[in-house]
Structure 1
Amino acid sequence: MHVLILGAGFSGQAIATAMMRRAHSVTGTTRAATKREALEALGIRPLIFDGETIGPELAEAMARTTHLVQSIAPGAAGDPLFRADRPPLAAMMPNLAWAGYLSTVGVYGDHDGAWVDEDTPCRPASTRSLERIAAEDAWLGFSRESGIPVAVLRLSGIYGPGRNALCNLAEGTARRLVKPGQVFNRIRVEDIGAVTDFLAARGLGGVYNVTDDSPGPPQDVVAYAADLMGVERPPAIAFENAVLSEMARSFYGENKRVSNARLRGLGFTFRFPDYRMSLEDLWRTGRWSG
């Protein structure tokens, strides 16, 4: 098994770690040459890819790849592997046996706090979620035409070592924004890696929500982390009074509870299904700071 991860960032590195034990090789791309050493330290062969130009080294890696994970956001131009000026994906990757595309639960849009699953109609409001839907359609269309299984992983809010509420409190950036009725799901980054490896090992395609069991108010997560650390909880701030970026405000415009029942029905067990026990693990082990 030769694994290629396009966009070996926070999630991509966790996926590489999970798949490495079964792989003959793991290659990951990055935009920044300064990140090459960090990828090499994890056992990942680093290649530079700006999302546009496929150089000779990347073309060679793609030709060898049997298992692909695509983690690069599409943008207005669409998915980088389905651009009009590209050769067909089957020609670029003749040995491909399975692919995973990392999407987001943002494609569901706002459901006023109701539960959603993979069969819930998507009604995205933001431009970036519309772009994700188009990319999902391209990958699922490729799967139908080629017969190669493609798993679309719809991820909820990602956190883990070095990126969590404990870090935000330590850095003085944590805020308890309160919007009545607002809930979010989350997912520990190691579970993203484990889900990807689980689906790849079984050659499973389709759409899957990769999310925890505990949708809840974001201010509760900050409060719980503060209590774990033994520090004062940040003061509650009414959402309407908060100064937020346009992107941050758009996240609060979507309210839903996301089900992971499809993955559980396949026999997958989440290691960190609840943010409370996950934060406790990060704090107890000292891995919270990364």
Structure 2
Amino acid sequence: MIPGIAPKLAAPPVASAPQPRHMFVFGAGFVGRYVSERLLAQGWQVSGTCTSATKKRELEMLGMTASVFDATESNLENIHSLQQATHLLISIPPIPGIGDPLLNLNEDLRRTLSHGNLEWLCYLSSTSVYGDCGGALVDEDHTVNPKSESAKLRFKAEKGWLDLMDDLNLSAFIFRLGGIYGPGRSALDTLAKSKSLSQRQKLRESKQYTARIHVADIYQAILASMSIRCARKILNVVDDDPAPRAEVFAFARSLMQRRYPDLITKTIDVKSTGLDYKESIIPAEKQVSNARLKQGLGVKLLHPTYRSGLQSILDSWQLES
């Protein structure tokens, strides 16, 4: 040391900033948008895809980085935010005759995900993959026997995403969802809009059991699964009450008649299919167990039955008005 000159102290090490949590949503529709809004409120970065410039502007107004994306024509190279994503939610359904459009971009998808920051992936599937079980209670270990084309494509996509995550050694979850409902998409909304049931909806009226799940509980399941590392799990995400559709509409009507009777302008017959007698549906009777969702993820359902879910939607109308 030179006399009279004090030694310089070493600068303290600079702590590296934690990796910001970044969710990328392929298909920011009803579920994707609901999840995105709440993650944004928690300080997450959120990016995603949509199908039109109008929807892109809507997502950007929420604070998302959005891209118009057609998986049958586009490639992943132009979606720059995908490589920064730590979490990936896939809410794009398979396309008849094509299958999962993202998995069809095999090498592009594999290259993009393997060179990014991805830690967690969740693919939103459907309980339709179980097929018809004669009304029996089925859990995730039950034999999968899809009958319809869409159900077969769902099951094939499940396997494709799990295989891809095995290769990349990343956490992957398959959520087999029941019928999704929530604010803006429920029996109450159908009645309030005097909206006729679609042919697909009418075909479901003869079912004795219909699995369903409130979008808020899908969000709960997503959050809970993020804390489990290096897992590959399939989970049924459904509520406790697989009630028939006619029963749900009857309850929704009773709620509205008590509080908003003027909103009901005509009767919607949800028992009659209104279809030619020659038309039929593929049987799909089953009661879907959610025990693994509760025990494995520790999820306590906000809306264990449609009664709680519909009541909460009606209460939100009062707050908005």
Whole-angstrom distance in 1 between the partners of 2:320 and 2:212: 18
1:88-237 to structure 2, matched below 5 A, reads 89-93=109-113, 94=115, 95-173=117-195, 182-203=208-229, 204-230=231-257, 231=261, 234=267
Q: 1:100 to 1:237 in 2, by over 3 A?
A: closer
Whole-angstrom distance in 1 between the partners of 2:245 and 2:270: 12
Structure 2 equivalent of residue 242 of structure 1:
274
Contact 1:16 1:193 in 2 (8 A): no
**Greater Cα offset, 170-179 or 46-55:** 170-179
- Pick aligned residue for 1:54 from 75, 95, 99: 75
Whole-angstrom distance in 2 between the partners of 1:121 and 1:173: 37
Contact 1:163 1:289 in 2 (8 A): no
Whole-angstrom distance in 2 between the partners of 1:157 and 1:181: 13
Give unpaired runs (5+ residues) of structure 1: none
- SS of residue matched to 1:16: helix
Whole-angstrom distance in 2 between the partners of 1:168 and 1:190: 19
Pair 1:275 & 2:295 matched? no
**Backbone CA RMSD of aligned residues:** 2.8
Contact 2:51 2:68 in 1 (8 A): yes
Q: 1:35 to 1:141 in 2, by over 3 A?
A: same
Q: State the Cα deviation string for residues 207-238 of structure 1 (Å, max 9, x = none).
A: 01111111111101000000001157947565
Q: Which has the higher contact order (CA 8 A, sep 6+)?
A: 1
Q: 1:128 to 1:11 in 2, by over 3 A?
A: same
Q: 1:153 to 1:35 in 2, by over 3 A?
A: same
- Cα displacement (A) at 1:20: 3.1
What is the identity, as a one-letter code, of the residue corresponding to 1:65? A
Q: Which of these two proteins has the greater Rg computed from alpha carbons?
A: 2
Contact 1:160 1:288 in 2 (8 A): no
Whole-angstrom distance in 2 between the partners of 1:190 and 1:249: 33
Q: 1:234 to 1:220 in 2, by over 3 A?
A: farther
Whole-angstrom distance in 2 between the partners of 1:271 and 1:208: 17
Whole-angstrom distance in 1 between the partners of 2:184 and 2:286: 26
Contact 2:103 2:109 in 1 (8 A): yes
- Pick aligned residue for 2:98 from 51, 60, 77: 77
Whole-angstrom distance in 1 between the partners of 2:181 and 2:232: 25
Q: 1:219 to 1:148 in 2, by over 3 A?
A: same
- Cα displacement (A) at 1:284: 1.9
- SS of residue matched to 1:87: helix
**Among the aligned pairs, what percent are the same residue?**
33
Q: State the Cα deviation string for residues 125-163 of structure 1 (Å, max 9, x = none).
A: 100110011100101111222221110011110111111
- Cα displacement (A) at 1:22: 5.2
Whole-angstrom distance in 2 between the partners of 1:183 and 1:142: 34
- SS of residue matched to 2:313: helix
Q: State the Cα deviation string for residues 63-89 of structure 1 (Å, max 9, x = none).
A: 222111111112232322322x54253
TM-score (norm 2): 0.80
Give unpaired runs (5+ residues) of structure 2: 1-20
